[in-house]
Each structure stands twice: as C-alpha cells, then as structure tokens.
Structure 1
Amino acid sequence: MVASDLDPKFTFESFVMGPANRLATAAARRVSDAPGTSY
C-alpha cells in the first residue's frame, strides 16, 4: 500500500454536488475507481 497525505474526512459521500461541479465530480469518481490505470 502506498502512503498518502489525503485527508480521510474528505469523501464523495460528504461532497456537495451542484450544477457547477458535475463534470469535475464525474471525472474525480472515474479516476478514483481505478487510480493509475486510465488517467
């Protein structure tokens, strides 16, 4: 496992999604589904 400086309190479940950040949210979810493979 690789060490990370990510803060565990920041999750997709607590993220507030709105019209202005839908694209960014979708991209972040895709990248987090398979880190280091597609993007």
Structure 2
Amino acid sequence: MPYLVVYPQSYVFKLTSQSVKALKMRQAYLAKRIIFRTFA
C-alpha cells in the first residue's frame, strides 16, 4: 500500500494502539458480563 508510506510512523502507531485499546476494553467488558452472570 503506497498510502502507508505517506503517513508518519507515529500516526499509524497511534491508530493501531487505539484499536488494540478498544479491543482490550471490549474483552474486559465481555469477561465482566460472563463473571457477573456466573455468580449472579
């Protein structure tokens, strides 16, 4: 992809870190729901 070269490395890193953070938050939310459902 030629577009990736145009963007600065920090921008790409920020984008990926944000998506990873969102994924972790989603996983934690699902885990909490499962735990609450098990103990409730």
User: TM-score, length-normalised on structure 1?
Assistant: 0.37
Greater Rg over alpha carbons, structure: 2
Higher helix share: 2
User: TM-score, length-normalised on structure 2?
Assistant: 0.37
